[in-house]
Amino acid sequence: MNFLKNFLLLCLLSVAFCQQHSNTDPHILPRPLIIELPENLEPRCDSSIEDTRLRCTGWRVAVEANNLSPWKTIPEECIDYVKDYMLGRSYEIDLQTVSNEAARFARSVDLKGDGMDVWIFDIDETLLSNLPYYAEHGYGLEIFDNVQFDKWVLEGVAPTIEPSLKLYNEVLGLGFKIFLLTGRREDKRNITTSNLIEAGFRNWDRLILRANEDHGKTAVAFKSDKRKEIMEEGFRILGNSGDQWSDLIGSAVSVRSFKLSNPMYFIS
Amino acid sequence: MNFLKNFLLLCLLSVAFCQQHSNTDPHILPRPLIIELPENLEPRCDSSIEDTRLRCTGWRVAVEANNLSPWKTIPEECIDYVKDYMLGRSYEIDLQTVSNEAARFARSVDLKGDGMDVWIFDIDETLLSNLPYYAEHGYGLEIFDNVQFDKWVLEGVAPTIEPSLKLYNEVLGLGFKIFLLTGRREDKRNITTSNLIEAGFRNWDRLILRANEDHGKTAVAFKSDKRKEIMEEGFRILGNSGDQWSDLIGSAVSVRSFKLSNPMYFIS
């Protein structure tokens, strides 16, 4: 009888122990797992957030496919999307995809060996990243501020875009001449050179910046004119890498052009 | 003493009970929740599946940005990705984004009112969807089979691409002439006409198909030649909608071109 009493008492205790183990701390398994999941995984469970993600992806792809009219700022609803894209792995993977494709093309080309085969690289968001600047300015949500951006450029600390450095070195090794063609002005020549070297880029053949007479031109016109001059010297422009369509289109276009991802800003 | 013996025995039993409760049936809470979650939420929790999704997105964006060499089939690892993209809401939203942008441009244009302002539409994957065919052929994983595809086309049941029908009607209402320019051959004229009408498209001005003399040409050459002829007649090509870059590039290009999404196949 004594045994039975003790048995019942301890069964109750053991059940209480099991219960308590399950419920006291909301951060201990298992109950909180069920409750907290929707919060942790919002993008899959909240349909309005998922809708925004799909619309912002559609917008970003439209940017990359050159489907949009010139735009001054990213859509307001896409600020979190653009931030996540730039800081997460998607941006890096997209850059690698394009860099790999460009390298595959570069290797497939039969170079003449006369030093006239050229690969053109843009600089900002192509070789050097201004992400630290844009992170402080809403990832493209703020209207572009020339004065503030110039201050950042003059610091000369823009980091390397690694997949582009890999492509750059491969192209250089294959025997291409490398011409850098940038919308930056001549007064940034020294800081641009030191920033590029600091970021690991070496042995380019030319660094072409906007001279005074180029200031009124759109990027498309300026870059087309410069490519035309290069071709008139007898160079063959086989590859061209840039994050803006204005780096790639217009006249005197390259045999192959490679558009690097950039959902933060648009240059005509 | 007897009490103590019973107490120890039942403590052991209670621990065993707790253990058993947690482990017997893998479909009972709580332990299985932890184990089964990755299976339920694969895309977010399994890093290799998430990696594939990111790589396939990178590949798809590279397609849309015209960064890739001609390709014959989609990457094998992307079959689920492409299927989900085409059947889910992403494809529809991407088409709507581009259609809205095209309509915005169409409304912004000052038409001359002389009946010489033209909008060109491609047909397959632009006005009519061959998704029912591709769903039966691996969403682009199978090498294109001309004979099988022709059989499908001759059924004349390709469904409407709704965002394009909306654009089509808006452009028509604004006073543009609509020219349809397709890689389909002349022998498909009747079935193409009836399929288009069945799908809701009316009142186009011209339906231009590949004649015998065009058969050896690439799509880029064929479509450039036709646009050139159109321009030589005095027409102004203001807008051009197509799912292939070969619908849009080359010579005699439109004032604005609109690239509709298509991750299933590539035409040079």
Looking at the domain B73-259, which fold is it? Rossmann fold (3.40.50)
Domain ranges of chain B: 2-30, 73-259
pLDDT over 70 (residue A1): no
pLDDT value, residue A2: 55
Q: 């990178």: which residue's tokens?
A: B58
pLDDT value, residue B3: 52
Residues 4-63 of A with CB under 8 A from B: 6-7, 10-11, 13-14, 17-18, 21-22, 29-31, 33-34, 37, 41, 44, 54-55, 57-62
pLDDT over 50 (residue A166): yes
> Sign of the C-alpha dihedral, residues B32, B37, B40, B42?
negative
Residues 205-264 of B with CB under 8 A from A: 257-259, 261
pLDDT value, residue B2: 54
Tell me the HSE value of A101 on the side-chain side, using a 13 A CA sphere: 25
pLDDT value, residue B221: 98
| Residue among B2, B57, B64 minimizing CB distance to A65 | B64
pLDDT value, residue B34: 36
Task: Determine if residue A217 is left, alpha or beta; phi over 0 gives left, psi from -120 to 50 gives alpha, anything else beta.
Answer: beta
Confirm if B126 and B99 have CB atoms less than 8 A apart.
Answer: no
- State mean pLDDT over A140-145: 97
> Following DSSP, what letter does each residue of chain B receive, concatenated?
-HHHHHHHHHHHHHHHHHHHHHHS-TTSSSHHHHHHHHHHTHHHH-HHHHHHHHHHHHHHHHHHTT-SPP-SS--GGGHHHHHHHHHSHHHHHHHHHHHHHHHHHHHHS---SSS-EEEEE--BTTTB--HHHHHTTGGGTSPP-HHHHHHHHHHT-PPB-HHHHHHHHHHHHHT-EEEEEEEEEGGGHHHHHHHHHHTT----SEEEEE-GGGTTS-HHHHHHHHHHHHHHTT-EEEEEEESSGGGT-SSS--SEEEE----S----
> Between A69 and A31, where is the model more confident?
A69
Task: Determine if residue B26 is left, alpha or beta; phi over 0 gives left, psi from -120 to 50 gives alpha, anything else beta.
Answer: alpha
Q: List chain A residues with CB under 8 Å of B71.
A: none
The alpha-carbon gap from A127 to the nearest alpha carbon of chain B, in Å, equals: 18
- In tens, the pLDDT along A108-138 reads 999 999 999 999 999 999 999 999 999 999 9
Written as six digits, the tokens of B140 are: 């682009």
Q: 């396939």: which residue's tokens?
A: B56
Nearest CA among B2, B181, B37, B162 for reference residue A6: B2
pLDDT value, residue A36: 38
pLDDT over 70 (residue A264): yes
CATH of A51-65+73-259, one of 3.40.50.1000, 3.40.50.1100, 3.40.50.2000, 1.50.10.20: 3.40.50.1000
pLDDT range class, residue A47, cuts 50, 70, 90: confident
Which of A35-49, A53-67, A78-92, B17-31 is the least confident region? B17-31
- In tens, the pLDDT along A207-262 reads 999 999 999 999 999 999 999 999 999 999 999 999 999 999 999 999 999 999 99
pLDDT tens digits, chain B, 268 residues: what are they? 455 555 444 444 444 443 433 333 434 343 333 333 344 444 445 789 999 999 999 999 999 999 999 999 999 999 999 999 999 999 999 999 999 999 999 999 999 999 999 999 999 999 999 999 999 999 999 999 999 999 999 999 999 999 999 999 999 999 999 999 999 999 999 999 999 999 999 999 999 999 999 999 999 999 999 999 999 999 999 999 999 999 999 999 999 999 999 999 999 9
Chain B within 8 Å of A201 (Cβ-Cβ)?
A: no
Query: How far, in Å, CA of B30 to CA of A233, rounded?
Result: 74
Which of A91, A94, A126 to mutate: most B Cβ within 10 Å? A94
- State mean pLDDT over A92-100: 98
pLDDT over 70 (residue A56): yes
Residue B85: closest CA among chain A residues belongs to which residue?
Answer: A54
Residues 86-125 of B with CB under 8 A from A: 89-90, 93-94, 96-98, 101, 104-105
pLDDT value, residue B135: 98
- State mean pLDDT over A9-23: 42
Residues with Cβ within 8 Å of residue B189, at least 6 apart in sequence: B207, B209
Mean predicted lDDT score pLDDT of chain A:
88
The alpha-carbon gap from A112 to the nearest alpha carbon of chain B, in Å, equals: 22
Tell me the HSE value of B93 on the side-chain side, using a 13 A CA sphere: 16
Q: Fill in the DSSP letter of residue A128.
A: B
Residues with Cβ within 8 Å of residue A239, at least 6 apart in sequence: A102, A105, A106, A119, A120, A171, A176, A254, A255, A256, A257, A258
For the complex shown, is ipTM > 0.90?
A: no
